[in-house]
Amino acid sequence: MKYIFVTGGVVSSLGKGLAAASIGALLEHRGLKTLMQKFDPYLNVDPGTMSPYQHGEVYVLDDGAETDLDLGHYERFTSGVLSKMNNLTSGQVFDAVIKKERRGEYLGKTVQFIPHVTDEIKCRLHKVTGDNPDVDVLITEIGGTVGDMEGLLFIEALRQFALEVGKENVCFIHVTLLPFIKAAGEVKTKPTQQSVAKLRELGIQPDIVICRTEADLDEDNRKKIAMFCNVEKKNVVAFRDVAHTIYECPLDLRRDKIDRLVVDKIGLGHTPAPALDDWETFVRRVIHPKHKITIAVAGKYIELQDAYKSIYESLIHAGAHHDTKVNIVRVEAEAIEQHGAKAVIGDVDGILVPGGFGDRGIEGKILAAQYARESGIPYFGICLGMQIATIEFARNVCKLRDANSTEFDKNTPFPVICLQEEQKGVQDMGATMRLGSSESIVFAGTKAADLYGGASHIQERHRHRYEFNSDFQDRIQEGGLVISSVSAKEGLVEIIELPDHPFYVGAQFHPEFQSKPNKPHPLFAGFVKAALDRSQSH
Ligand code: GLN
């Protein structure tokens, strides 16, 4: 087993996760079986309880793990199957250590940061590779910035681990920033030098330094970084700002042969250079599409880049599939409440209402769904967006006045969306939702069945507490809404659709967690196609 550890320096938001995912993609294209993992130094057990303002999107895995959004990049860039084991937080580490201590497993010893906490971290590296013995390379990204107090134990654990498994099996990559100082007209290497010095103080000499830079990296600066950081010049790699799409990142890193440097370091130099034709074709399709559509995304964290990350990526995948650029207009749901849907959204080719929690902006989203339904604009509701469509239909078509979800109105006369029985006693907020992948049945003859290529059973990932209330199923179906999929086990409503509308689909699950470049999710592909048809008929 070979190991790559990716640390970051100088500042956060450098694209460390994308760098790690890109390396994963390149190694996979060299024929290596790659698995990716993230260590996050914060104390939350997982990001499931964090606000999108803190953390961006919570990415859900098949096994129901609520994880960092970098795992989304990993799944989109590589094919390794990720689980709870692939995202470790300080919260989990300390939780495990304290539980062991309470069980008396430390046999009377004083429990200490070193070795007990660092052992727990190393244990996760062994566990994830033990569970996946056919993997050739494990890539572990360490969240945060080197020098942060909270990351120290992770760095120390990696230092020990490299000694234990043999340094020839480990490649340390440090991602830093080369700021461009406008007034001086110069790229500065000092922050990189100091950040690597910090890492070396902690006992780790990086093998490769990846420098994030707006412009190119010239020879002089490469030499300077090599000398001060104690790495060979060829191992100073530029990671330039990409012009169009994050899917250019592996191609950019490849310019300095990052994958060759890595395999040479860990003794896998015999693997062939990556054949990247499929990746390049995809990138070309993203950059030079024939068509263009406009999709409005009506949500409540619209100003945040990362809050609906996987949805935006899924639209790009589906767009590339249809040779179409998807122009996304981010609409603040509360603005719709004030000014009306038509005024705020205007004439777009599609409207998407993403997942969400809490009642801010709910009425605006309901107006958006009504506007899409009444004016024949393709509508795609995801999780909360599906519940919104149900509420809107109940109120305005079935005339169930003030119908609502009990999440937003406990006393609604028509709780068309409500808590499942087993959710009612739940007290803890963390990891208690309906989470992860489960099987659903898709009914023949529906649009959903069509989109899924006639499949009668599908597997999709969930993250929600509230459900379509089966007490209202008959009344809502009589109104004309079609239930096209239900969960195999409990019969819970999974997909709703309107038959006499170009595309009006709501999914209780999160299709955005299963879309990949060159493999768009069928519901996103269908939505984009419907939007494209609309734009072309106008
Ligand atoms: N708030 C809703 C629920 O808990 C929807 C959740 C979501 O969109 N992820 O059911």
Please choose from 384, 435, 467 the residue to mutate so as to test ligand 1's pocket, defined by most ligand atoms within 8 A of CB: 384
Are residues 41 and 152 in contact, defined by beta-carbon separation less than 8 angstroms?
no
Please choose from 407, 434, 508, 510 the residue to mutate so as to test ligand 1's pocket, defined by most ligand atoms within 8 A of CB: 407
Q: Give CA–CA dist 494/158, Å, rounded.
A: 43
Q: Give CA–CA dist 456/448, Å, rounded.
A: 10
**Ligand 1: lining residues by beta carbon, under 6 Å:** 355-357, 383-384, 407, 463-466
pLDDT for residue 52: 78
pLDDT for residue 403: 97
Domain boundary assignment for the chain: 2-281, 289-537
The catalytic residues are 383, 510, 512
> Of all protein residues, whose CA lies closest to atom 1 belonging to ligand 1?
357
CA of 463, closest atom in ligand 1: 9
Q: Give CA–CA dist 349/19, Å, rounded.
A: 34
Kindly report the three-state secondary structure assignment for every residue of 83-98.
Answer: CHHHEEEHHHHHHHHH
**Residues in CB range of 161: below 8 A, 6 or more apart:** 3, 122, 125, 170
> Of all protein residues, whose CA lies closest to atom 8 belonging to ligand 1?
355
Looking at 202-308, list the stretches that DSSP marks H as alpha helix, in order from N- to C-terminal side: 219-229, 249-255, 258-265, 277-287
pLDDT for residue 364: 96
pLDDT for residue 206: 97
Q: Domain 289-537 carries which CATH code?
A: 3.40.50.880
What tokens were used for 353?
A: 């209402």
CA of 358, closest atom in ligand 1: 1
Ligand 1 centroid to residue 64 C-alpha, Å? 15
DSSP secondary structure of 168-185: GGEEEEEEEE--EETTTT
Please choose from 423, 460, 466 the residue to mutate so as to test ligand 1's pocket, defined by most ligand atoms within 8 A of CB: 466
Q: For residue 115, say if its preceding peptide bond is cis, omega within 30 degrees of 0.
A: yes
pLDDT along the chain (538 residues), means of 10: 94 90 97 96 90 86 94 95 94 97 94 96 92 93 94 96 96 96 90 96 97 91 96 96 93 96 96 94 95 95 84 97 96 94 94 92 96 97 97 97 95 94 79 90 97 96 95 96 96 96 98 96 98 94
Per CATH, 2-281 and 289-537 having the same topology is answered: yes
CATH 3.40.50.300 fits 2-281, yes or no: yes
Ligand 1 centroid to residue 386 C-alpha, Å? 9
First to last CA, the chain: 56
Q: Give CA–CA dist 439/486, Å, rounded.
A: 9
Q: Give CA–CA dist 4/20, Å, rounded.
A: 9
pLDDT for residue 284: 95
Ligand 1 centroid to residue 357 C-alpha, Å? 5
Angle between helices 16-29 and 70-77 (to 10 degrees): 20
